[in-house]
Structure 1
Amino acid sequence: AQAQATETGAEDAPPTEISEIGRLISVGKILYAILILIVTYFLNKFVGLVIDNLAERATNYRLFIKRLGPASRILIWSLSIYIIIAGVIAPPMQTVIAIGASIGIAVGFASQDILKNIFGGIMIILDSPFQVGDKIAVGDHYGEVTSIGLRSSRIVTPDDSVVSIPNAELMNHAVSNSNSGALNCQVVAEIYLPATVDIPAVKRLAKDAVYASSYLFLNKPVEVIVLNELKDRNYVVKLRVKAYVLDIRYEFLFKSDMTEMILEECNRRGYLEGEVMPIPSQL
């Protein structure tokens, strides 16, 4: 009788966690979840292409439209994961808590760096130290932000190289932002001239050259700063010409345009043939 009671109690015992998982996750549910993930992946690609095409067509709102990309990716993936858990697997709340705690502990120990990058990506999107389309400098890298993902962010350098930077590194290092969401940004061109050059004339020449450029953003001021420096053991005049480009995409074209026009006009007027002033030798 005691053995029969034991067998009856074993039959009435609640299912174990393993048997519960086996009941919840079947082959059909796994295939359905994989199908949802595949559809989500291609949907993200499609939405990204639509956003990029709209951004290129609407020039004045290009940066604003591109910034919708990171938020849309997170929203689509979050919705997909919710559908898989709540609609496909549909586990009881107790099972969700138990399995979630176990998986959370295991994943936490196994992928600390990945989680740091994911949280870093979420914080970048929420805090917005930079956004898609901004020109940023991080360490030795400078370029335009093309995407902000959950694991890393990508920038395109002036040499047209794509650099992927982990989000955790971006959160732990200083990031310099050239335009902070604006379509225009400041461009600085440096010109070295002989120390005997006519400084007032050169400053007027530099401003005239900048205003002649088709890349200039006219709503912000143009400044010409004169410095005296040593270069190759000679005194020289260093012009720092500061102006704003109308679109960050033309940053280096504008810088080249300013430098070329200023040097061409200085050469035409003979300013580049001034007398060199060497450093006096010590007695």
Structure 2
Amino acid sequence: MDEATKTKDSAVKFLNDLQEISFTKIALILLGAVLCVFVVRKIIPYLAKRGPNQMRLYLLSSVPVFRLVVIMVSIAWIIPIVFNVTIQNFLLFIGAASVAIGFAFKDYVSSIIAGIVAIFERPYRPGDWIKIDEDYGEVRFVGIRTLQIVTASDNVITIPHGRIWNSNISNSNDGSRTLMCVAEFFLSPDHDSLQIRDVLRDVAITSAYLLYSKPVLVIVSQTPLGTNYQLKAYPFDMRDQFTFKSDLTIRGKAAIAAVGAKEANAQFAYK
């Protein structure tokens, strides 16, 4: 009987605490958190877009971290206002919330947890060029549940963080200010490989988009499609990667034709 009375009194006390909640204070905390996140999401990308390329990556990567800090501080501030924080109440609340969330929002919570993991492990960050499955683009936004990438076609793709549990993530620059671009050429076998290698290297070195502090490589291999040349180089600004690759391809084809080499055709490929 005493135990039942104690449990009843605890429930009444919990209800009284709810009745005395300052909803105005909660609203102000939430409003302040939303404003902070909104200002950071607007100001930091604005500064990053107009700053040096290396500083741009650091600024963009700080946005999700700051947003997570604001959310955690807001939650920690609101909980004592709403609940009578004791060990018994805390365990009761966590147990009930875990069961409800586990059944109703399993996929949603999985993406949120994956988002928190991504913020700390940093498999991608704003400014990185990544490929998840068939989607390749620049990370524009990293939220708690999803990330957004902008493709070369200027399409915005929203991807749940939950994809990191079962998908490989290819990160082309991983926080650095540039990335490798590869232009491929397939030639018929009757040519001077040393000459073609030197010609393609000169094409890369004379490109207006080249980052000269990075190496230029020409990789040669024999394939069923012909002799494959991979011209590998780094653009000065990774946002120019597609223009850079186009420049290498167009000028590379012209240089190859100028020395009399011929591209492999379908007839050779199937011999």
Distance 1:127 1:92, change over 3 A: closer
Which of 44, 47, 69 is the equivalent residue of 2:37? 44
5 Å matches for 1:152-231?
Answer: 152-231=146-225
Distance 1:207 1:104, change over 3 A: same
Q: How many Å separate the matches in 1 of 2:179 and 2:269? A: 37
Secondary structure at the counterpart of residue 185 of structure 1: coil
Corresponding position: 1:143 with 2:133: no
- Verify the 8 A CA contact 1:152 1:165 in the aligned structure 2: yes
- Verify the 8 A CA contact 1:196 1:276 in the aligned structure 2: no
Secondary structure at the counterpart of residue 136 of structure 1: strand
RMSD: 2.9
Deviations along 1:37-83, whole A, 9 cap, x unmatched?
23322320111112112212322311111110110000011111122
Q: How many Å separate the matches in 2 of 1:12 and 1:228? A: 82
Q: How many Å separate the matches in 1 of 2:30 and 2:7? A: 36
- Verify the 8 A CA contact 2:188 2:264 in the aligned structure 1: yes
Task: Give the match for residue 95 of structure 1.
Answer: 89
- Verify the 8 A CA contact 2:186 2:263 in the aligned structure 1: no
- Tell which deviates more after alignment, 108-117 or 180-189: 108-117
Q: After TM superposition, where is structure 1 displaced by more than 6 Å over at least 4 residues in a row?
A: 10-13, 273-277
Task: Give the match for residue 25 of structure 1.
Answer: 18
Please give the TM-score of this superposition, normalised by the length of structure 2: 0.86
- Verify the 8 A CA contact 1:118 1:167 in the aligned structure 2: yes
Which of 225, 232, 245 is the equivalent residue of 2:235? 245
Gaps of 5+ in 1: 1-5
Corresponding position: 1:85 with 2:79: yes
- Verify the 8 A CA contact 2:128 2:174 in the aligned structure 1: yes
Secondary structure at the counterpart of residue 175 of structure 2: coil
Identity %: 29
- Verify the 8 A CA contact 1:225 1:240 in the aligned structure 2: yes
Aligned length, in residue pairs: 267
Q: How many Å separate the matches in 2 of 1:280 and 1:123? A: 48
- Verify the 8 A CA contact 1:121 1:152 in the aligned structure 2: yes
Deviations along 1:189-213, whole A, 9 cap, x unmatched?
0123333233222222111110111
Please give the TM-score of this superposition, normalised by the length of structure 1: 0.83
Which of 104, 128, 132 is the equivalent residue of 1:134? 128
| Superposed displacement of residue 36, structure 1 | 2.5
Task: Give the match for residue 256 of structure 1.
Answer: 246
Secondary structure at the counterpart of residue 180 of structure 2: strand
Task: Give the match for residue 103 of structure 2.
Answer: 109
Task: Give the match for residue 3 of structure 1.
Answer: none
- Verify the 8 A CA contact 2:186 2:227 in the aligned structure 1: yes
Gaps of 5+ in 2: none
Choose 1 or 2 for highest CA Rg: 1
